[in-house]
Amino acid sequence: MSVPEGSDPGRGRLRIGIVGAGFMGATHVAAWTAEAHPVVIHDVHPERAAQLAERHGAATAATLDVLLAAVDVVDICGPTHRHAEVALAAAAAGRHVICEKPLARTVADAESMLAACDAAGVRLFAAHVVRYFPEYALARARVVAGAIGHPAVLRLRRASYRPRHSQGHWLFDHEKSGGVVLDLMVHDLDYARWVAGEVVSVLCNSVGIARPELAVDHAVAILVHASGAITHVTGSWALGRPDFRTSFELAGSDGLIEHDSTVGPIGSWLAPSGDGGHGAVGLPSSPVTEDPYRLQLREFMREIVDGVAARVSARDGIAALRLALAADESARTGHVVRLEAGPR
């Protein structure tokens, strides 16, 4: 493990407590250790915490209380429906909170998390990592610089295979995860808002809600922004393994920006081996020197330590959750769901 340039050994690194040693927990532990932060891991399944800790030279904590006593920042990577209880405990213990998207399963939970963190004087972060992916960050910066004029029609697409978990996994329990809309589409709902501003209405169709008996999930939403821009968002767990694809098109009054991850820098056509070697959940693959997860966590650290605001706030996380829940409601009822313009 190397200490990155520019670090200040005298100040030390904040100690990170990971809650949830699943797929995203492992991704975050790798990023934290690369950033030379001491990591402690807690999982309701102690053997999973131990395995992950072993791989990265991290410590484990048998209980959440033990973890809270040993760290400065709690990084919540567990199931969506349990984010709130962990965040509230962390805030009560005076720990900063980083929380995977979606921030919570309900807006009430997310609001209570933010209120608790505010009251405790600690920061709450929503890990909308897509804002740190270089293609997304660059496109948004170009839009802000006026490259396409006023955003008019956006299409955002994120498609993967169905995560490789067993049938009873919380991700497949709509009550716990919110399905593909809350878990995957929420990335692009956040991005749509980042690029084209507040959303005033959502219509959504979801295979997972209309046909819950199927093994695939696929949702398409149409957003209207307060600016008049309109956005088409797709979140899909319907691809065959091992594919993960993202694409977007941002059309404006004076230009157009396109991106498609399938037009990538590397091609490989290899003989299949076993299960193909792909992970439990698909992730995009286009190698860059600056890992988006590390960049995100570093920005969160900078906000805690130096007070420089990260590009995504807890309020953004709540707004994205609101959009995802509006999409879910629309898919359930067949109605257009209207939202108040502007953040509360």
Partner 1 sequence: MSATADRGTGPIRIGILSLAHHHAESYLALLPTLPGVQLAGLWDENSTRGRDAAQAHGIPLLATEAQLLAARLDGVVVASVNAEHRRFVELSASAGVHVLCEKPLATRLDDGRAMVDICAAAGVRLMTAFPMRWSPVVAAMAASLRAGTLGDPLVLEGINTGEMPDAHRAWFVDPALSGGGAIADHVVHLIDLYRWLLGQEVEEVYAVANRILHDGFRAVETGGLVSLRFVGGATATIDCSWSKPRSYPTWGGLRLEVTGTNGVIAIDAFGQHLTQYGPREVGIEWPFWGSDPNLAMLSEFVAAIREDREPAITGIDGLRALEVVEAAYRSIEQGVPVRLAMA
**Residue number with CB closer to partner 1 (31 or 220):** 220
**Residue number with CB closer to partner 1 (38 or 208):** 208
159 is a site residue for partner 1 (CB under 8 A): yes
332 is a site residue for partner 1 (CB under 8 A): no
By DSSP bridging, strand 96-100 and strand 59-60 are unpaired
Which of 27, 80, 234, 261 lies at the binding interface for partner 1 (CB under 8 A)?
A: 234
54 is a site residue for partner 1 (CB under 8 A): no
Which of 26, 103, 220, 304 lies at the binding interface for partner 1 (CB under 8 A)?
A: 220
Which range in 27-35, 46-54, 123-131, 205-213 contacts partner 1 by CB under 8 A?
A: 205-213
Number of residues that bind partner 1 (CB under 8 A): 40
Q: How far is the CB of 238 from partner 1 (least distance, A)?
A: 5
**Residue number with CB closer to partner 1 (118 or 258):** 258
70 is a site residue for partner 1 (CB under 8 A): no
Contacts with 263 (C-beta within 8 Å, 6 or more apart), sequence order: none
Beta bridge partners of 260: 247
Which of 252, 282, 292, 317 lies at the binding interface for partner 1 (CB under 8 A)?
A: 252
**Residue number with CB closer to partner 1 (27 or 234):** 234
Helix (H), strand (E), coil (C) string for the chain: CCCCCCCCCCCCCCCEEEECCCHHHHHHHHHHHHCCCCEEEECCCHHHHHHHHHHHCCEECCCHHHHHHHCCEEEECCCHHHHHHHHHHHHHCCCEEEEECCCCCCHHHHHHHHHHHHHHCCCEEEECHHHHCHHHHHHHHHHHCCCCCCEEEEEEEEEEECCCCCCCCHHHCHHHHCHHHHHHHHHHHHHHHHHHCCEEEEEEEEHHHHCCCCCCEEEEEEEEECCCCEEEEEEEEEECCCCEEEEEEEEECCEEEEEECCCCCCCCCCCCCCCCCCCCCCCCCCCCCCCHHHHHHHHHHHHHHHCCCCCCCHHHHHHHHHHHHHHHHHHHHCCCEECCCCCC
**Residue number with CB closer to partner 1 (78 or 163):** 163
Which range in 67-75, 135-143, 204-212, 298-306 contacts partner 1 by CB under 8 A?
A: 204-212
Which of 230, 321, 323, 339 lies at the binding interface for partner 1 (CB under 8 A)?
A: 230
**Residue number with CB closer to partner 1 (34 or 226):** 226
Give the span between the Cα atoms of 15 and 20, in whole angstroms: 16
- Short-list 324, 295, 323, 322, CA closest to 311: 295
Which of 256, 280, 305, 308 lies at the binding interface for partner 1 (CB under 8 A)?
A: 256
Which range in 12-20, 285-293, 311-319, 334-342 contacts partner 1 by CB under 8 A?
A: 334-342
Which range in 42-50, 61-69, 238-246, 311-319 contacts partner 1 by CB under 8 A?
A: 238-246
- Short-list 220, 155, 209, 152, CA closest to 185: 220
Which range in 90-98, 179-187, 212-220, 318-326 contacts partner 1 by CB under 8 A?
A: 212-220
Q: How far is the CB of 286 from partner 1 (least distance, A)?
A: 19
Which of 240, 274, 277, 307 lies at the binding interface for partner 1 (CB under 8 A)?
A: 240
- Short-list 103, 256, 112, CA closest to 186: 103
212 is a site residue for partner 1 (CB under 8 A): no
Q: Of residues 127-156, which lie at the interface with partner 1 (CB under 8 A)?
A: 149-153, 155
264 is a site residue for partner 1 (CB under 8 A): no
341 is a site residue for partner 1 (CB under 8 A): no
